Amino acid sequence: MFDTLWYSRKLRVWVAQIALMGSLAALIWWIGGNTAQNLTERGIRTGLDFLSRPARFPISETILHYSPEDSFLWAFIVGLANTLWLSALTILLATVLGLALALARLSAHPMLSRLAAGYVTVFRNIPLIVQLLFFYGVATSVFPPPREAWTPLPGIYLTLRGAYAPDLFLSSSGSWLLAAIALALILTLRIAWRWPTGKALLPLPARLCAAVALWLGASIAIWHLAGRPVRLEFPELNGLNFRGGQHLSPEFCAIILGLTLYTAAFVGEVIRGGVQAVSKGQWEGGRSLGLSERQIMFRIILPQALRIIIPPMTSQYLSTVKNTTLAVAVGYPELGLVVNTVINQTGQALESILIMLGVFLTISLSVSALMNWLNARVALVER
Amino acid sequence: MTITARLAFLALPLATMMAANAGHTETTLETVRERDRLICGASQGTPGFGAPDDNGYWRGLDVETCRAVAVAVLDDKDAVDFVPLSGQQRIPALQTGEIDILPRTLTWTVQRDANGIDFTTPNYYEFTGFMMPKSLGIEKVEDMAGATVCVQTGSTTEIVVNDVSAKHQLDLQPVVFDNTSAARQAFFSGRCDALITDAGALASVRASMADRPDDYVIFPATEYVDALTPAVRHGDNQWADIVRWSIQTLIAAEAFGITQGNVDEMLNSDDPRIRRFLGTDPGNGTALGLSDDFAYRIVKALGNYGEVFERNVGMGSPLKLDRGYNALFNQGGLMFPLAFQ
């Protein structure tokens, strides 16, 4: 009976699998136990109870409300929110700029395509951290101190402490009104655009201008009728610095500019590669049908290129999320900087790093899942 | 590869790791003697406290504190390797055994003490200060309303900024940097109105980085004085004792009036306390696991605390700091020699 068991292929395979998984589990368990023992021996406090204690350290700029009396957990969340905000904004801006770069590189105009190629070469081949430090150096050395601020437009101040602009203050009806006005603009433009050509009195560009003028007039009238629910609050020089209004810090500008310009170079190349991978026959087919070059690009080539673009684009987006941790170098408080500070204040490096690992893994897997879903949707369906 | 071979492959590293775990743990003194080098944490460049000179030779008050331990243990003030560490690397580096001593402008706090490091004895007392350009015309904390402050992480100063801001309702706007030199450069470029850190480090930054040091003013951020104290790993009491008494040797030597110049004459002193201190009457050194003349060797190699201070941060240096809190207790300072007996 043992003979048959010994020679049973099925059993052997199972035993091998169980042994492998068992060793892996043992290895993880051993590493965990060893770490815990060493931490105790060195008298390092462990556990997550520090998360509820007040953080007490400042975070220089946040998109969620934070004060030093808040807990360490909230400090992590505030850092995470900054990271997500930075990632989302960079991905959006880099994709738009990347698309423009790709179209420029593909253009038949020699100067445009060479300029785009030059841009890609420069920004792709300089390490990101160097670019960030460069932009930060520019932001904090070109501009004047607050007391001698540049004012390109009334209410807008450029200083080496960043840019200040008037803040919009909305009453509750004001935000609804603003949304309605924005919606009206879209509707007006759409109607003007789609107006049946036969019945139109004006050619398309003039029609669009007329629509915008109409919308502007109507909006101003409604705004006055509604009792001016929107007002502007101007920044004022008060003591050492400007107070009030919107503030863009040099740290934020440097990291957004640096990340966007760098990522756009890669995104541009991915899109260009995708477009060029679509067979030339598609262009020729389009031309023989009498479509214009623009129509062929947007109706035939880009939809097919999208299938090729999405997988490498996923990698670019993932890199962007991870690259936001370089904001540490220019002093923008994303999750990495907050984690560093927490480690220093509490000494609980292992827990803090594990939290950061978990968070980045979650973000990356989510981006990845989203892009995979998108990929599945646009993938060629063969019947 | 067969399944057995694969399993053996997996088991091998496991077994070695288990074996490595079981070994005898050496004391720090044994490790240092075996290595014949002392490894000290150092700053990333704070001239006067710890920075390499033009020839790459490390100089500074904290550096010489380390050299005193090297003289005591290895009888060679140059048998030290310095590892530059950022504010946030320094404590993990000590805890994990990368360095033997951390004498790097480290404030003695309860949170740090309770979290895996042991403090020995203070080698420098000072206040946390703000540095501002004189042109802004501000010379005390109460006038700083709305100021932006460059702060480096990995220090107690982040919390001081918050405390000061709350206490005087100043609404200070911190700009936090991960890197010491980034915070300093941002201050000198005008990104911030003020730079906050230990006053000694501020004097060092002003002397080494400002175009015209006289254009900047330094004033205290709080009325509290911090004890900057070299630290060792938690759990090796013998090593903590050696470091503590090596630093104390510098202070006691000054209190006894023993200098690098007169230490040989002092060997013939009739004062029993001095005889015990220098090891003419044996007992102190052996109790620590060192040779009895360790204090004599330290003073012979480096001088007393006063000499070390003047040479690195005092009037004999570009920093030109007063002894202030760091004078001996009988001259109005806080430096107090413990009993060498």
- E strands in chain B: 38-42, 51-52, 58-59, 80-84, 117-119, 124-126, 128-133, 148-152, 173-177, 194-198, 216-220, 226-228, 231-233
Mean pLDDT of A115-126: 94
CATH no., domain A72-166+243-378: 1.10.3720.10
Which among B14, B156, B199 has a CA at the least distance from the CA of A341?
B156
CB atoms within 10 A of CB B308: 25
Out of B144, B154, B161, name the one closest to residue A58 (CB): B161
* Residue A243 parent element (H or E): strand A241-243
- Please name the member of A45, A140, A346 whose beta carbon is closest to the beta carbon of B189: A140
Tell me whether residues B91 and A344 touch, CB distance under 8 A: yes
Residue B297 within any structural domain of the chain: yes
Taking an 8 Å cut-off on Cβ atoms, the answer to whether B233 and A42 are in contact is yes
Judged against a pLDDT cut of 60, whether residue B8 lies above it is answered with no
Asked if the C-beta of B22 comes within 8 angstroms of chain A's C-beta atoms, the answer is no
Domain boundary among the residues B225, B248, B270 is at B225
B184 and B131 in a common domain: yes
Which residue, among B153, B160, B168, would best test binding to A if mutated, counting the most A CBs under 10 Å from its CB? B153
Q: Is B27 on the interface with A (CB under 8 A)?
A: no
Are B100 and B234 part of one and the same domain? Answer: yes
Residue B82, helix vs strand vs coil? strand
At A227 the three-state DSSP class reads coil
| B158 chain-A contacts, CB cut-off 8 A | 57-58, 341, 345
Q: Categorize the per-residue pLDDT at A229 as very low, low, confident or very high, splitting at 50, 70 and 90.
A: low
pLDDT of residue B13: 46
Contact in structure between A242 and A146 (CB atoms under 8 Å): yes
pLDDT at position B133: 93
Domain finish residue from B225, B257, B277: B225
Residue B329 lies in a domain: no
Distance from CA of A151 to the nearest CA of B (A): 18
Question: Scanning the structure block, which residue is given the tokens 């070695």?
Answer: B16
Are A45 and B10 inside 8 Å of each other by CB? no
- Cβ distance of B114 and A45 shorter than 8 Å: yes
> In Å, how far is B298's CA from the nearest CA of chain A?
30
Q: According to the model, what pLDDT value does residue B336 have?
A: 92
How high is the pLDDT of residue A32? 87
CA distance A92 to A263: 11
**Residue of B3, B147, B178 with shortest CB distance to A337:** B178
Task: Count up the domains in chain B and report the number.
Answer: 2
Please indicate, yes or no, if residue B337 is contained in any of the structural domains: no
Task: Kindly report the nearest CA distance between residue B28 and chain A, in angstroms.
Answer: 13
Name the band, by pLDDT with cuts 50, 70 and 90, for residue A382. Answer: low
Say which residue the tokens 């060893």 belong to.
A34
**Average pLDDT of span A223-245:** 75
In this prediction, residue B157 carries a pLDDT of: 83
Tokens of A257: 């500019």
Q: In this predicted structure, what is the pLDDT of residue B19?
A: 44
User: ipTM of the assembly?
Assistant: 0.70
B182 contacts on A by Cβ (under 8 Å): 329-331
Q: Is residue B15 part of a domain?
A: no
pLDDT over 60 at B207, yes or no: yes
Over the stretch B263-321, which tens digit does the pLDDT of each residue have? 999 999 999 999 999 999 988 999 999 999 999 999 999 999 999 999 999 998 888 88
Q: Would B106 be classed as within a structural domain?
A: yes
Residues of A in contact with B136 (CB under 8 A): 240
Residue A317 near residue A367, CB atoms below 8 Å: yes
DSSP code per residue over B211-248: SSGGGEEEEESSS--EEE--EEETT-HHHHHHHHHHHH
pLDDT over 80 (residue A69)? yes
For residue A237, the chain B residue with the least C-alpha distance is B146
pLDDT of residue A1: 62
What number of C-beta contacts closer than 8 Å exist between A and B? 133
Q: Dihedral sign, CA of A295, A301, A307, A309?
A: negative
Question: Which of B94, B111, B113, B158 is the best substitution to test chain A (most A C-beta atoms within 10 A)?
Answer: B158
Shared domain for B215 and B142, answered yes or no, is yes
Element (H, E) at A158: strand A156-159
Residue in chain B lying closest to A34 (CA):
B21
Question: Of A272-276, B142-146, B251-255, where does mean pLDDT reach its minimum?
Answer: B142-146
Q: Which two tokens stand for residue A10?
A: 């099925």
Same domain, B75 and B114: yes
Predicted confidence (pLDDT) per residue in B253-275, tens digit: 999 999 999 999 999 999 999 99
Is B168 in the same domain as B207?
Answer: yes
In the predicted model, what is the mean pLDDT of chain A? 86
Q: Which of A55-69, A74-88, A109-123, A254-268 has the lowest mean pLDDT?
A: A55-69
Domain-located, residue B204: yes
Q: Do B244 and B119 share a structural domain?
A: yes
Q: Do B14 and A26 touch (CB under 8 A)?
A: yes
Please give the span between the terminal C-alpha atoms of chain B, in angstroms, as a whole number. Answer: 69
Which of B86-95, B132-141, B208-217 has the lowest average pLDDT? B86-95
pLDDT value of position B104: 81
Verify that B118 and B241 share a domain, yes or no.
yes
Give me the residues of B, 276-315, that contact A with CB < 8 A. Answer: none
Gap between the Cα atoms of A227 and A223, Å rounded: 7
Q: What is the DSSP string of A159-212?
A: ETTEEEEPEEEE-HHHHHHHHHHHHHHHHHHHHHHHS-GGG-SS-HHHHHHHHH
Does the beta-carbon distance from A44 to B116 stay under 8 Å? yes
B248 within some domain: yes
Q: Which helix (H) or strand (E) holds A238?
A: strand A236-238
Question: Is residue B20 assigned to a domain?
Answer: no
Outline where chain A has alpha helix (H). Answer: 2-7, 9-41, 72-106, 110-125, 128-139, 172-194, 204-225, 250-277, 280-288, 293-295, 302-323, 335-346, 349-378
H-helix or E-strand spanning residue A246: strand A246-248
Domain residue spans of chain A: 72-166+243-378, 171-227
Whether residue B147 is found in the same domain as residue B99: no
CATH number of residue B137's parent domain: 3.40.190.10
**B80 plus B217 within the same structural domain:** no
By residue range, what is the domain housing residue B186? 127-225
User: What is the distance of C-alpha A2 from the center of its chain?
Assistant: 62
For B:201-240, CB contacts with A below 8 A are 233-235
Average pLDDT estimate for A14-37: 91
Residues of A whose CB is below 8 A from B7: 16, 19-20, 23
Burial B110-138 (b: 16+ CB within 10 A, else e): eebeebbbbbbbbbbbbbbbbbbbeebeb
